[in-house]
């Protein structure tokens, strides 16, 4: 596997990741910034990849993150990245999928759960030719299975957080219906006045509080640079809902 050496959160996290295939980007950092974890919390991540979001969250909060990832090469790379960042005692990734029995290490219960699921439904659009990128971008399991896996390992009233495409909001809400409440939908606006392409959804297991549509975050200025608020989050600040 051809790897690159990169950094996230303004250099706070070092990351070795595949040159080809899925690569961690701002969605990864935004997801980690949106998880309301504390140092004493245990967090589950579905689809952890090479550990990027887990490392960002553990670095920011000091929490413990246990992830699952179907690709064996990425599981090994996640372990290497955890050691590289001095976080091997707080970040671990095991091989497993949301559509099969979760590994014993991910049995929970956890205080929180997070995921950056594949964005594209199977059969819609062109499948990426690179196998690793296809696995990361095209659903093998729909949002219902992702949400079920996350809720299944959470403690009662535990919180789950997902980042997804805005046009998949209906599927996410359907998957949460009757199982979680206190749902907050947080749009990520590419620029002021532009439709949101990404959303962050947060919900609490077993809660009944009505849904909230948050103000969201504008990512880019007119000239293409990051807004001050977005830049602060990408450098390690929490994303305040």
Q: Which of 44, 57, 54 is nearest to 74 (CA)?
A: 54
Quick check: is 18 in a domain? yes
Quick check: is 239 in a domain? no
* Paired sense of beta strands 217-220 and 198-205, if any: unpaired
Identify the pLDDT of residue 21. Answer: 84
Quick check: is 241 in a domain? no
Identify the pLDDT of residue 22. Answer: 86
Quick check: is 240 in a domain? no
Quick check: is 226 in a domain? yes
Rounded Cα gap, residues 98 and 96, in angstroms: 7
Which range of residues forms the domain containing residue 45? 3-234
pLDDT tens-digit map of 60-99: 999 999 999 999 999 999 999 999 999 999 999 999 998 8
Mean of pLDDT over the chain: 91
Q: Which of 76, 49, 80, 66 is nearest to 112 (CA)?
A: 66
pLDDT tens-digit map of 11-57: 999 999 999 988 999 999 999 999 999 999 999 999 999 999 999 99
Identify the pLDDT of residue 125. Answer: 54
| Counted domains in the chain | 1
CATH number at residue 176: 3.40.50.150
As a whole number, mean pLDDT of residues 126-135 equals: 47
Task: Return the H-helix or E-strand segment holding 65.
Answer: strand 64-69
Quick check: is 128 in a domain? yes
Rounded Cα gap, residues 198 and 188, in angstroms: 5
Split at pLDDT 50, 70, 90, the class of 127 is very low
pTM: 0.90
Q: What is the largest CA-CA distance in the chain?
A: 49
Which of 22-36, 119-133, 173-187 has the weakest average pLDDT?
A: 119-133
Q: Residue 89 to residues 32, 86, 199: CA-CA distances in angstroms?
A: 18, 8, 31
Quick check: is 209 in a domain? yes
Quick check: is 225 in a domain? yes
């Amino acid at each position: 596997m051809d790897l690159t050496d990169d950094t996230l959160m303004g250099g706070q996290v070092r990351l070795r990741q595949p040159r080809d295939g899925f690569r961690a980007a701002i969605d990864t950092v935004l997801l980690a910034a949106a998880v309301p974890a504390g140092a004493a919390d245990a967090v589950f991540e579905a689809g952890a990849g090479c550990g990027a979001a887990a490392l960002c969250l553990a670095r920011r909060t000091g929490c413990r993150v246990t992830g699952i990832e179907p690709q064996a090469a990425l599981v090994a790379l996640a372990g290497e990245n955890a050691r590289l960042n001095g976080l091997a005692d707080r970040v671990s990734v095991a091989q497993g999928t949301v559509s099969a029995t979760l590994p014993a290490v991910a049995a929970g219960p956890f205080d929180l759960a997070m995921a950056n699921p594949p964005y594209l439904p199977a059969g819609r659009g062109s499948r990426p030719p690179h196998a690793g990128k296809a696995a990361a971008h095209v659903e093998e399991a729909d949002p219902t299975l992702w949400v079920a896996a996350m809720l299944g390992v959470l403690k009662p009233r535990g919180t789950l957080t997902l980042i997804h495409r805005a046009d998949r909001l209906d599927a996410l809400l359907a998957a949460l219906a009757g199982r979680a409440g206190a749902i907050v939908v947080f749009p990520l606006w590419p620029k002021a006045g532009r439709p949101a392409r990404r959303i962050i959804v947060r919900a609490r297991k077993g809660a009944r509080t009505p849904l909230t549509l948050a103000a969201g975050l504008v990512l880019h200025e007119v000239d293409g640079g990051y807004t001050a608020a977005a830049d602060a989050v990408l450098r390690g600040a929490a994303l305040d809902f």
